[in-house]
């Protein structure tokens, strides 16, 4: 079970934004600690995640929630990981978190107040701190945007939800394209190193171009015809 | 140069949210296409990225911007990559985009209206489509949260966008490649619709492959020789 905990949210709209981005990544358990009043704005910003808002649990303190929910891993988030207030714990990136997290127990991802984040005492209750690498000029993200990135990174590693796109060309299909082009290039009468280079360039382009299966099929037809019609030197 | 383009934003607050998340990842060039009125809310939500909002450029249409800014790679974003409206282009994940993008030229990342995203016509103007893998139950993200994830992925891989990459091929160089291939394909004796399709597929691959200037030069040499040696039917 994964809980998303928002500690003392100050803006009703942000509760909705958080709920929406949770649902975008398959998360539904929202916990609010001593929140501002839920308002229409919360439901409005949640869009199709209104159910996440209306099913939220509310606790008075973070400590109370951690005890009652039998949390095995509490993950704190901070935009200020290097702060001297917390030198005793090392912050990891969302990617590292995603690599190492164990989904077997009850996990919670804890986000702090819009203005001041989590307190030292709250962070001390957590097992892991996660911080997003940002540009040095402006490191503090909006809390719901930071949450989106962490959810995305966790979801991505789980690999349960592929992007719904056209079928990309298989490695085999791409190989058959470069194989035909290799034959064509050999006929062009280049010196050997130029032949190799020309083949390499075409190969790289094919690997990099996100070719679909359908495109590979069309291009293969084209290259075959070219090959048939190309005179050897 | 990386531009972030927001097409017909409807909410002044979202312009601010976008500006803030841009600055979090070192991006500063905001372009608005036919936007709603900029209001206090835009500057308020931008927090310490008010300068990004006040320095934004405004254009009437996406087409106008793409021409004037001399864009080499236009990246469209969509929450609905599998839609039948656009089966001709494949969507990539933010990670794949980040792996292959070449920061040498003028790149733009284009985000659509809050309500309806980008139109088919607008997507057709772009070279690459990027889509974030989300949970099947609720795929449509808030636009500024989607933007945060894409910026994060780009930033993570590039660690503040070094510009000392290989020079990308210019639009002109890419056009000269497709022009030669067009000639070759015409010689293949396909029926007209097949000729068009074969040309289109090659064109798309070239636009999408982040070809460097050096690669374009080599490929051009190859295609020229092929053209000289290809017998007409």
Task: Determine the residue of chain B that is closest to A184 in CA distance.
Answer: B226
Mutate which of A208, A214, A220, A227 to test chain B, going by most B C-beta atoms within 10 A? A208
pLDDT over threshold 60, residue B203 = yes
Q: SS3 for B18?
A: helix
Rounded to a whole number, what is the distance in Å from the CA of A218 to chain B's nearest CA? 6
According to DSSP, residue A49 is labeled G
Percent of chain B surpassing pLDDT 70:
91
A215-225 residue pLDDT tens: 999 999 999 99
A17-29 residue pLDDT tens: 999 999 999 999 9
Extract the tokens encoding A216: 């590979």
A127-179 residue pLDDT tens: 788 889 899 899 999 999 999 999 999 998 775 433 445 677 888 898 999 99
pLDDT computed for residue A162 by the predictor: 39
Residues 6+ apart with CB under 8 A from A80: A117, A131, A139, A140
Element (DSSP H or E) covering residue B22 = helix B12-24
Extract the tokens encoding B149: 């994830």
CB atoms A229 and B140 under 8 Å: no
Out of A152, A198, A212, the one facing B222 most closely (by C-beta) is: A198
Q: How many CB pairs under 8 A join A and B?
A: 190
Question: Could you give the C-alpha distances from A178 to A27, A167, B25, B186, in angstroms and in order?
Answer: 43, 19, 38, 21
pLDDT computed for residue A222 by the predictor: 96
A37-61 residue pLDDT tens: 999 999 999 999 999 999 999 999 9
Rounded to a whole number, what is the distance in Å from the CA of B90 to chain A's nearest CA? 6
CB atoms B135 and A25 under 8 Å: yes
pLDDT over threshold 80, residue B162 = no
pLDDT computed for residue A164 by the predictor: 43
pLDDT over threshold 50, residue A196 = yes
CB atoms A218 and B226 under 8 Å: no
CB atoms B211 and A205 under 8 Å: yes
Between B233 and B34, name the one with better pLDDT.
B34
Note the ipTM here: 0.77
CB atoms B24 and A152 under 8 Å: no
Strand B57-59 to A107-111 pairing: unpaired
CB atoms B211 and A198 under 8 Å: no
Burial (CB count <10 Å: 0-12, 13-18, 19+), residue B108: buried
Question: Could you give the C-alpha distances from B92 to B55, B128, B132, in angstroms and in order?
Answer: 30, 8, 8
């Amino acid at each position: 079970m994964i809980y998303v905990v928002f500690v003392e949210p100050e803006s009703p709209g942000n509760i909705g934004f958080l709920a929406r981005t949770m649902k975008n990544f398959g998360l539904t358990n929202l916990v609010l600690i001593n929140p501002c009043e839920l308002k229409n704005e919360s439901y409005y910003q949640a869009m199709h995640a209104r159910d996440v808002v209306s099913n939220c649990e509310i606790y008075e303190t973070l400590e109370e929630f951690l005890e009652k929910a039998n949390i095995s891993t509490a993950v704190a988030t901070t935009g200020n990981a290097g702060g001297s207030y917390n030198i005793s714990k090392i912050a990891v990136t969302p990617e590292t978190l995603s690599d190492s997290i164990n989904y077997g127990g009850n996990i919670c991802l804890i986000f702090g107040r819009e203005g001041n984040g989590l307190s030292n005492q709250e962070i001390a209750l957590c097992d892991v701190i996660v911080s997003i690498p940002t540009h040095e000029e402006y490191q503090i993200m909006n809390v719901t945007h930071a949450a989106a990135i962490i959810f995305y990174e966790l979801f991505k590693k789980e690999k349960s939800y592929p992007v719904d796109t056209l079928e990309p060309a298989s490695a085999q299909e791409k190989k058959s394209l470069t194989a035909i082009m290799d034959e064509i290039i050999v006929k062009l009468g280049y010196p050997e190193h130029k032949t190799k280079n020309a083949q390499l360039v075409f190969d790289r382009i094919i690997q990099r171009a996100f070719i679909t299966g359908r495109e590979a099929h069309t291009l293969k037809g084209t290259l075959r015809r070219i090959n048939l019609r190309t005179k050897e030197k």
